[in-house]
Structure 1
Amino acid sequence: MPKLFGREPAIFLALAASVIKLLAAFVIDLSVDQQAVLNTVAAAVVGVLVAFIAVRDGQVAALLGLAQAALAAAVGFGLDMSAEDQAVLLSFVSVVLGMFERTQITAPMPADDVPTGEL
C-alpha cells in the first residue's frame, strides 16, 4: 500500500475531516444543518477512501470515520451537543478503538527471532 510521509493515507484523511469540523464549529458561520452536511460528507469520503485504500490496517480509521459521520448526522437531525462535547465524545471513541486496535496488531517477526539483548 502506498504511504504518505511513512503513514497510511487514512490518518491524513481523518485529520482533514477533523479540521473541517473545527473550522465549521469555530471559524465559519454555518447553520447546524450545514455543519452536519459538511461533516457527514467529509467523514463519508474518508470512510470510502479508507475502504478502498486500506487492506488490513484501516479498520480503526474506518470505524472512527463512521462514528464521526453518525455524530454529524445526529447533530444535523437535531441532537443538541456543543462542539466541545462532540470532541470529547469522539476522543473517547478514538481511545476505545485504539484499545481494540492494539489487540489486532501482530509483530513483524516471530518472538523467537527477536534479540534478547544479551551480548
Structure 2
Amino acid sequence: MIKIWGREPAAWLTLFAVVVKLAVAFGWDASPDVQAAVNATAAAVMGILIALAVHDGLGVAIVGFAQAGLALAIGFGLDWSTDRQAVVMAFVTVAVGMWDRTQVTAKVPAKQPLPLA
C-alpha cells in the first residue's frame, strides 16, 4: 500500500467510511437504498484493501462485514437512529480492535523512542 497508510491502514479506511455516513447524516439527500449501497461498498472495499495490506485481515473483515450488514439493514428498513448505529459500530470496532492489535503485524516498524540523555 502507499506510504500514507503507514501503520494504521484500518484507521484511515474506517475514517473514509465514517465520512460517508456523516455526509448522509448532515445533508446528503440520498434515499435509504443509495445510502445502503454506498456504505456497503465502502465497507467492502475497506475490508479488501486492508486484507491485502496486513498478514491477518480477519478483524478488519469482521468490521467491514458489520458495517455492510448494518448499512444493508438500514437500506431495507431497519429504523435505527444515527446515534444507535454509531454506538453499535463503535462497539464492534473497539471489540475487534482489542483482539486485532495482538494479531496484526505492521508493514512499517514502530518508531523507536529517543534515548534519555
| TM-score between the two structures when normalised by the length of structure 1 | 0.74
Q: How many pairs align?
A: 105
- Structure 1 residues 15 and 79: CA distance shift in structure 2, 3 A: same
- Structure 1 residues 105 and 61: CA distance shift in structure 2, 3 A: closer
Equivalent-residue separation in structure 1 for 2:60 and 2:27 (angstroms): 26
Where does structure 1 lack aligned partners over 5 or more consecutive residues?
107-119
Structure exhibiting the larger radius of gyration computed from Cα positions: 1
1:64-107 alpha-carbon deviations (Å, 9 max, x no partner): 1111111001111111111111000001111211222244368x
- Among all aligned residue pairs of Structure 1 and Structure 2, give the percentage whose two residues are the same amino acid: 55
Aligned to 2:100: 101
1:35-86 alpha-carbon deviations (Å, 9 max, x no partner): 11111111111112222x2232533222211111110011111111111110
> Structure 2 counterpart of 1:88, which letter?
V
Equivalent-residue separation in structure 1 for 2:42 and 2:104 (angstroms): 27
State whether structure 2 residue 48 is matched by structure 1 residue 55. no
Q: Does the 8 Å contact 1:44/1:65 carry over to 2?
A: yes
Aligned to 2:24: 24
RMSD of aligned C-alpha atoms? 2.1
Q: Which moved more, 1:42-51 or 1:70-79?
A: 42-51
